[in-house]
Amino acid sequence: MNFADTQLRDRPLFLAPMEDVTDASFRFICKQYGVDMMYTEFVSADGLIRDAYKTRLKLNISDQERPIGIQIYGHIPEALLEAAQMAAQVRPEVIDINFGCPMNKIAQRGAGSGWLRDPQGMVDITRRLVQAVDIPVTVKTRLGWDEQSIIIEDLAEALQDVGIAAITIHGRTKTQMYKGEANWEPISAVKRNPRIKIPVIGNGDIKTPRQAKDAFDQYGVDGIMIGRASFGHPWLFREIRHFLDTGEELPSMSVTERVVLAKMHLAKSIEVKGERVGVLEMRRHLSCYFKSLTDFKPVRLKLVTEDNPEEIFRLLDFIDKKWGGN
């Protein structure tokens, strides 16, 4: 499939941009399990143009991660334009505009899904941004602000007309946040629209290989983006790809395999962010990798409080020894 001038295999799988999750170490892990395209964490336009150190670090991408997109968000048009030009300098495959984040601290300021209150403004800034950079621009958004303003069909046409190369649609409104079930029917309607020529990527509630296949088969999307379901379960991409290719489900990942994964992830996190920060930011992942184990609470507590990486590696060896038969 041609996605914004990048050739991907049929029925591609995308890793969604997630704040404090899709850093370089997590992207490295997901790449091992067969994700087709990834995105950075959200990059604040305001932070980037103010040269905020932590924001600038989010632009660090490597050739091993390609194809990759940088997603930017903000509510001030001039800041978005300048930030997009800065992001384009590191040559990602795409610049993605975040028109979908529903968190109130972002949306109430007019950024993220806050733009859905001003669809014409969304189209206008997208036109300007497409003209401002020399690499493809894509958009991630939602169905509308609320159930009374499902505007995605008309909005997708308008965004295509001003030059976006692809659109990713989350099957909820802003006011739904992440509650209820994602509604893929409007996503399918966009894809079925004969005027829509750009790839349409569906997003929302894909947690199993069978759900992924059903999304392709029932809704006709060009690709699937997976976010929250990959947290603590990055091998989901491998499971889905195997099911799409063979129709068979892989056996559950063993504890020993998860220990190997956890060690690899921890080592990469330390390599990328240094020992102190690398260990701190791994805690949320380590506890999730083993959350299904019985009588695990005392070990989990140690995993999420230990600062010494050597001791964490020893704890992981202990987990393998005690639960490795599972």
Residues labelled catalytic: 101
The token duo for 93 is 């495959």
CA separation for the pair 123, 315 (Å, rounded): 52
| Residue 303 half-sphere exposure toward CB, CA atoms < 13 A | 25
3-state helix, strand, coil in the chain (%, to 5): 50, 15, 40
CA separation for the pair 145, 174 (Å, rounded): 5
16's CB contacts (< 8 A; 6+ apart) are 22, 39, 140, 203, 225, 226, 227, 230
CA separation for the pair 179, 171 (Å, rounded): 11
CA separation for the pair 287, 40 (Å, rounded): 23
The 10 Å CB-count burial string (b at 16+, else e) for 37-50 is bbbbbbbbbbbbbe
Nearest Cα to 264, choosing from 21, 29, 4? Answer: 29
| Residue 55 half-sphere exposure toward CB, CA atoms < 13 A | 18
